[in-house]
A and B are shown apart, each in its own frame.
Chain A
Amino acid sequence: MSRVFKALADPTRRAVLQHLRRRPMTAGELSALFPVSKPTMSAHFAVLREADLIDADKQGTTISYRLKLSVLEDALLEFAHAFGIGAGPAAADGNSTHHREGPAS
């Protein structure tokens, strides 16, 4: 559960989840929506995947993400969004996750 709280604490990750609420998106599509580097976005995706909030499907070089929220996690996301918890973007968890995820494609 602490992984879920950690994942939802960052506004960028919450925004990623809000975009995925509308439809599944590729890593490239999501990265294009945020003014951060692709490795940073990859680290955000890794945090969300570790918390089991998104599901990744790799097709060739493209990774598609889709939302995987329980009702409680959905409610927590709305709560965090409404009250602006973690107003400043948190660090996307260091460089180690960049290597695991690979480039956002």
Chain B
Amino acid sequence: MIIRQLGYAIAFAALVLAAAAGLREAVASGALDAESAKRIMQAMLGLGLAGYGNFMPKKLGRPRRSPEAEARMQAALRVGGWAMTLAGLVYALLWALAPLPLADTGGTIAVAGAAAITLGYALWCFAACRGARGASAQR
């Protein structure tokens, strides 16, 4: 399972490197202008993030001991997955269609916002779970 995931990650990295090299060649030969090459590359990265976010809720790991912890972990993965997928799509769309300054700022805000939501919700779930465990231990 880990080897397969690693394989996908390496394949995606190779694809990004190959695309970067191809775009560089296209710019050097005059077939593509530098702005278009940058837009294509950034849109591709956005789609990669959306793809990763899409599969995030499927990476469950081992079952937790308590159903409460399991439910919260799944909720955190779901929220993170949705946030990353939507952020990736927004990033790709902005870089494909919006003016460069807006794409740059808006894309960064979208991805940073998704990361903050993912991390914040995961921490909230963790704290709620610990709180519930502490309360049940006191009883």
Does B85 sit within 8 A of A, measured CB to CB? Answer: yes
Does A24 sit within 8 A of B, measured CB to CB? Answer: yes
Contact of B56 among A55, A57, A64, A71 (CB under 8 A): A71
When distances are taken between beta carbons in the complex, the residues of chain B under 8 Å from A68 are: 57-58, 60
- A67, B63: Cβ atoms under 8 Å? no
When distances are taken between beta carbons in the complex, the residues of chain B under 8 Å from A95 are: none
Does B38 sit within 8 A of A, measured CB to CB? Answer: no
- B63, A23: Cβ atoms under 8 Å? no
Does A70 sit within 8 A of B, measured CB to CB? Answer: yes
- A74, B57: Cβ atoms under 8 Å? yes
Q: A57-B63, A70-B81, A71-B81 are in contact. Are A23 and B58 (CB under 8 A)?
A: no
- Report the bound CA distance from A57 to B65 in whole Å: 12
Does B82 sit within 8 A of A, measured CB to CB? Answer: yes
When distances are taken between beta carbons in the complex, the residues of chain A under 8 Å from B58 are: 52, 68-70
- B60, A66: Cβ atoms under 8 Å? yes
Does B71 sit within 8 A of A, measured CB to CB? Answer: yes
- B71, A22: Cβ atoms under 8 Å? yes
Contact of B63 among A64, A70, A72, A74 (CB under 8 A): A64
1/0 per residue, CB under 8 A from A, across B44-59: the answer is 0000000001111110
Q: Which residue of A lies closest to B72 (CB)?
A: A23
Q: What are the 10 tightest A-B residue pairs by CB atom distance, in nearest-first order?
A: A23-B71, A71-B85, A71-B54, A71-B81, A57-B63, A70-B54, A24-B70, A70-B58, A23-B67, A70-B55
Interface residues of B (CB under 8 A from A): 53-58, 60, 63, 67-68, 70-71, 74, 78, 81-82, 85
In the complex, besides A66-B60, A70-B81, A71-B57, 17 extra interface pairs with C-beta distance below 8 angstroms are A23-B70, A24-B71, A24-B74, A52-B58, A66-B70, A66-B74, A67-B57, A67-B74, A68-B57, A68-B58, A69-B78, A70-B58, A71-B53, A71-B54, A71-B56, A71-B82, A74-B78
Q: List 10 A-B residue pairs with CB atoms under 8 Å apart, sorted by A's residue number.
A: A52-B58, A66-B60, A66-B63, A67-B57, A68-B57, A70-B57, A70-B81, A71-B54, A74-B57, A74-B82
